[in-house]
Amino acid sequence: MSDRLLYVALIMSLVGLALLVFISESVEPPYTRVAGINSNYLEKRVHLQGVIHLVKEFKCGSIMLSLSQDNHSVEVYLPYSVSSSLNKTSLNGSKADLMGVVQLYNGKIEVAVENPEHLRLK
């Protein structure tokens, strides 16, 4: 009887963990102010809003842009998998709502958007 109860508890634990993994992928982090992004946010997902400035396209098709909010800005990296679906000529000056991971690249903090669904232009 106790072995059966142990197996049921183990199965319920595994189902619960699987649900947590599935749900955590779909939960959006709260909005973060651009001015508040610092090294404490490294490797964490952030949700940002701002105006796009200084768009730079690389030969491989990826894009680096600057997202500004209240006189503060942060660099945002869009790999080709994200940038390929964008109209690049209308990016500069657009309002953006994005989610990405804060990373350190060449000693500078940047936000990397990993999924095209995590970038919405307004």
**pLDDT tens-place string over residues 38-47:** 999 999 999 9
Residue 26: predicted pLDDT: 66
Q: How confident is the model at residue 92 (pLDDT cuts 50, 70, 90)?
A: confident
Assigned CATH for 34-121: 2.40.50.140
**pLDDT tens-place string over residues 35-84:** 999 999 999 999 999 999 889 999 999 999 999 999 999 999 999 999 98
CA distance 72 to 12: 47
Cα angle vertex 110, ends 21, 47, to 5°? 45
* Alpha-carbon Rg for the chain in angstroms: 19
Cβ atoms of 37 and 74 within 8 Å: the answer is: yes
